[in-house]
Amino acid sequence: MKKIVLHGLPVERDSEKYLTQIIDRLNKEGVEIWYTSLFHSRNSKLLKEALNLTENITSEYDAVFSLGGDGTFLETLLWVGKSEVPILGINMGRLGFLASIAKEFIKESLYLLFKGKYEIEKRSLLSLESNLGLFDGKAYALNECAILRKDTSAMIMVKCYINDQYLNTYWADGLMVATPTGSTGYSLSCGGPLMMPDSKDFIITPVSPHNLNVRPLIVSDDSELKFEIKSRNRSFLVSLDSRSETIENDVSLVVKKASFDAKLIRIEGINFPDTIRNKLGWGFDKRN
């Protein structure tokens, strides 16, 4: 790896030493260090000498280090976009599903990285299509695309089609399509199943459905899902991961697998089963 970009949140005082560790290691490896302009502006006092600033992360870079939590990782992905530059998530807080490297293990993880002890995981993305030009041309999501009622309005009605075949009409607070990556997030809190990251499926998960016999449904990730939405207050929300926009009634939305993937750098010894056990507390006897 010759050119690496750093992106992330403002670095807290007690985490400044970890940023120094990262920069020192990259310099030791002879890496050309770049910074997103946003990361630099958030940490201008720490990065006074940063001259290599970028507004776009293109395929000329070998990797991006995302410094923060899972939310920061999703923000980093927006900078990467279709370039598919691999992302290494370094968690500056608590252990995350995407930012899986704890700050206490930065030295060890970077050692393994530059020894080639890592693999690139491809994660499917969702693409949202409409005639409204939503999300400034970045209408894709790693976790989920959700259609939600706005504010405290009445529940919405969502008519769903799979590959132009009618599936169901949902009366609910909302409906989402989640990826395997997103199965550990919003979908899980709404009763959706957990999926291994390399699964070739999506999950249709209702949010507080009016009919209690409506359950999450797993569909193949080569499916094209079409939604027709109506709301009593004539508007609703559409969200892609942590971003959302208000949309008026009587619009048709199409959700399908994106034409490009997110690429995650997974350091040797860190895997999904370990992460999920630690995050969800599986296998621990809590009776004492």
Spell out the domain ranges in the chain: 3-124+261-280, 126-257
Q: Which two tokens stand for residue 34?
A: 């770049």
Query: How many whole angstroms separate alpha carbon 204 and alpha carbon 271?
Result: 26
Q: Is 65 exposed, middle or buried (0-12, 13-18, 19+ CB in 10 A)?
A: buried
Q: What is the mean pLDDT of residues 12-25?
A: 92
| One-letter identity of residue 57 | I
The pTM of this model reads: 0.91
Share of the chain above pLDDT 90, in %: 73
Q: Residue 182 has what pLDDT?
A: 96
CATH number for the 3-124+261-280 domain, one of 3.40.50.10330, 3.40.50.620, 2.130.10.10, 3.90.1170.40?
3.40.50.10330
Examine the pLDDT at 175 and tell me if it is beyond 90.
yes
**Of the candidate ranges 93-97, 175-179, 209-213, the one whose mean pLDDT is the lowest:** 93-97
- Integer angstrom CA distances of residue 143 from 18, 60, 83, 192, 241: 28, 26, 19, 13, 6
Say whether 70 is catalytic.
yes
pLDDT for 95 beyond 70: no
Decide if pLDDT at 5 tops 80: yes
| Structure-model confidence comparison of residues 22 and 285, the more confident one | 22
pLDDT digits (tens, 9 = 90+) for 179-200: 999 999 999 999 999 999 999 9
Confidence tier at 153 by pLDDT (50, 70, 90): low
pLDDT in tens, 257-285: 999 999 999 999 888 888 888 777 787 77
Q: State the pLDDT at residue 246.
A: 92
Residues β-bridged to residue 203: 178, 218
Q: How confident is the model at residue 221 (pLDDT cuts 50, 70, 90)?
A: very high
Q: pLDDT at position 49, please?
A: 67
Give the tens place of pLDDT for each residue, 229-249.
988 877 899 999 989 999 887
Question: Quick check: 207 pLDDT over 70?
Answer: yes
C-beta of residue 134 within 8 angstroms of C-beta of residue 172: no
Nearest to residue 154, comparing CAs of 272, 249, 236? 236
In this model, does residue 90 exceed pLDDT 70? yes
Q: How does residue 20 score in pLDDT terms, banded at 50, 70 and 90?
A: very high
Three-state DSSP string of 56-97 = CCCCCCCEEEEEECHHHHHHHHHHHHHHCCCEEEEECCCCCC
pLDDT attached to residue 284: 75
- For the domain spanning 126-257, the CATH number is 2.60.200.30
- Name the nearest CA neighbour of 58 among 41, 35, 75, 81: 81
In this predicted structure, what is the pLDDT of residue 38? 94
204 or 282, which is more confident: 204
Choose, from 62, 70, 151, 261, the residue flagged as catalytic.
Answer: 70
